[in-house]
Structure 1
Amino acid sequence: MTAHVEGAGLARLVEVMDRLRSPGGCPWDAEQTHESLAPYALEEVHELLEAIETGTRADLREELGDVLLQVVFHARVAAEHAEDPFDIDDVATSVADKLVERHPHVFADADAATAEQVSANWERIKKATKGRDSVMDGIPASQPALARAQKVISRASRAQLDVRDPAGVGIGPQLLAIVARAQAEGVDAEAALRQATRDYETAAREAESASAGATEHSSD
């Protein structure tokens, strides 16, 4: 039996990606850019979420691999940049350094006995190291509206801000109120809506089948 070597699979993936991207490799892979790959990254993350919520362990392993491929692909493209190249090792080193920096209760002498204290330290360190002026800085504008609303409410809550909601009775304010309720109850609003939509879709398919069956019987 061949002994398992830690990191061998990742090293092989990097080698395969390098072969695909290099001269004599795959024409499609060779012409990709960060911009052209962006939609695939988003799609793979959504497929990973679906695997987490409704898939098997095999589905989860496959979708994690597809997300990892996107990271390795982008890093390979980045390595070719003329002025500011970086590779997958630079990416891994950067995120490892970030984890050490933001976990001083593990790697230094800071105290954080609870998950809440860890989160507070994380936000404080992130704000200081990134030079952010507001707790709202860094929330992606392209994030789905429901998920972004919950992130904004979560940031405001953790910062203990006394937010006076704008007056309004339209659909937007009502949706925001529901998201605030989800945040208060510890519910992921985006995941909850996805599940409710799946349930509705199942019921709609059942109604569709029943309607088709009734039509067939009536025509007999």
Structure 2
Amino acid sequence: MTMLRNPEFGCPWDVEQTLRSLVPFTLEEVYEVVDAIELGDTVELEEELGDLLFQVVFYSQIAKEDGDFDFEGVAKAITQKLLRRHPHVFPEGSVEQFGVKTTLATDEVAANWDKIKRQERIEKAARKSQGQQTQQSSAASKDDAFESALDTVPAAMPAVMRAMKLQAKAAKDGFDWDELKPVLAKLREEIAEFEEAIEQNDVQAINNELGDILFSAVNIARHVDVDPETALRGANQRFSARFRWIEEELSATGLKMNASSASELNRLWEKAKQSGL
């Protein structure tokens, strides 16, 4: 990676990249890893994991050039974190203590993990506070000092995933419904508000209410223990398969999609569904 980034003899494209410019490529590699897993293609998975690892190496090299950190530091940091967050496996955070079978149940492990993460956030905030020498108003300082349960959910997460995380965090603090019925009622309420916004031709309200519908749909998924991202990917795959089937059917008879009537396309769609797609 050092050679690829060499200003004189390296690759021009690699040399031009920054931490920000790599983000789209990293997301693409993550989704390709997911695709390989869902397809059960372990040969492809091996290659895609290598591509994802390359992204980590790339970021680390750029950071090293900027004097921030390097790949060795990244590896050391995750090692220390795993030791620290698994005291039931590594007593006193030491690999030398490994070998004692834990008596904790899975839910106890998860609760302990969250407790350790909270303590880490407090310590990290304290370090940042000590390192900052900015002048702020008392009101701003008070806001900065407050720690929300939602602060740990990254803002850059894909929207569906972030909605799921936000809801789960809020639910841990008791902000949730105890059963599915009111969650479904909330979705119907949001749909009604969306329809009203359309009738009023209120563009901003339409945008807001559609977002609320999607957020409510994610909440339903959480309550029935379904991953909404996986569910939506499944819907995308079914749509793609059925659409391709219709294309092939029309092509076999010399017809085109845009020259077919809505009723004919709907008939073919239902036929595609009946075929098992």
TM bucket normalised to smaller: 0.7 to 0.9
Residue among 69, 88, 102 paired with 1:105? 88
Residue 222 of structure 2 corresponds to 183
Partner of 1:118: 109
CA shift in 2, pair 1:214/1:143, >3 Å: same
TM-score of the two chains, using structure 1 as the length reference? 0.80
- The secondary structure found in structure 1 opposite 2:20 is helix
- Aligned equivalents of 2:30, 2:103: Cα separation in 1: 31
Q: Of the candidates 203, 215, 218, which is equivalent to residue 254 of structure 2? A: 215
Shift of 1:94: 0.5
1:19 paired residue number: 3
Tell me the distance in 2 between the aligned counterparts of 1:44 and 1:80: 24
Deviation digits for residues 197-220 of structure 1 (CA, Å, limit 9, x no counterpart):
10111011101111222235xxxx
Give the C-alpha shift of residue 55 in structure 1: 4.9
Write out per-residue CA displacement over residues 120-154 of structure 1, whole angstroms, 9 at most, x where no aligned residue. 21222111211272221121222222111111122
The corresponding residue for 1:14 is none
Measured in 1, the distance between the counterparts of 2:228 and 2:162 equals 10
Q: What is the CA–CA distance in structure 2 between the aligned matches of 1:75 and 1:136, rounded to whole Å? A: 28
1:56 to 18, 22, 41: 41
Give the unaligned 5+ runs of structure 2: 94-101, 126-146, 178-182, 192-209, 256-277
State how far apart, in whole Å, the 2-side matches of 1:61 and 1:150 are: 29
Residue range with higher mean Cα deviation, 203-212 or 63-72? 203-212
Partners of 2:90 and 2:148 in 1: how far apart?
27
- Whichever residue aligns with residue 95 of structure 1, its letter is I
**Is residue 2:120 matched to residue 1:129?**
yes
Query: Is the aligned partner of 1:150 residue 2:164?
Result: yes
Q: Which runs of 5+ in 1 are unaligned?
A: 1-16
Q: Which residue number in structure 1 is paired with residue 29 of structure 2?
A: 44
Following the alignment from structure 1 to structure 2, what is the Cα–Cα distance between the partners of residues 181 and 151?
13
8 Å contact 1:149–1:179 — kept in the other structure?
yes
Q: 1:193 to 1:60 in 2, by over 3 A?
A: same
* Residue 193 in structure 1 maps to residue 232 in structure 2: yes
> Deviation digits for residues 93-116 of structure 1, max 9, x if unmatched?
011111111111111279762222
Q: Report sequence identity in percent.
A: 39
2:212 & 2:108 partners in 1: Cα distance?
31
Q: Distance between the aligned counterparts of 2:63 and 2:157, measured in 1?
A: 24
Distance 1:91 1:112, change over 3 A: farther
Instruction: Pick one of 161, 167, 175 that aligns with 1:162.
Output: 175
- Structure index of larger Rg: 2
Matched letter for residue 239 of structure 2: Y
Summarize the Cα distance change of 1:115–1:184 in structure 2 as closer, same or farther, 3 Å threshold.
Answer: farther
Q: Are the aligned partners of 1:75 and 1:87 in contact in 2 as well (CA < 8 Å)? A: yes
Q: Where does residue 70 of structure 2 map in the other structure?
A: 87
CA distance in 1, matches of 2:152, 2:51: 26
Tell me which amino acid in the other structure corresponds to 1:114: A
Q: Relative to 1, partners in 2 of residues 1:32 and 1:162: Cα closer, same or farther, differing over 3 Å?
A: closer
Q: Name the structure, 1 or 2, with higher relative contact order (CA <8 Å, separation 6+).
A: 1
- Distance (Å, rounded) in 1 between the aligned partners of 2:175 and 2:247: 48
The number of equivalent residue pairs is: 197
Report the residue type matching 1:119 in the other structure.
A
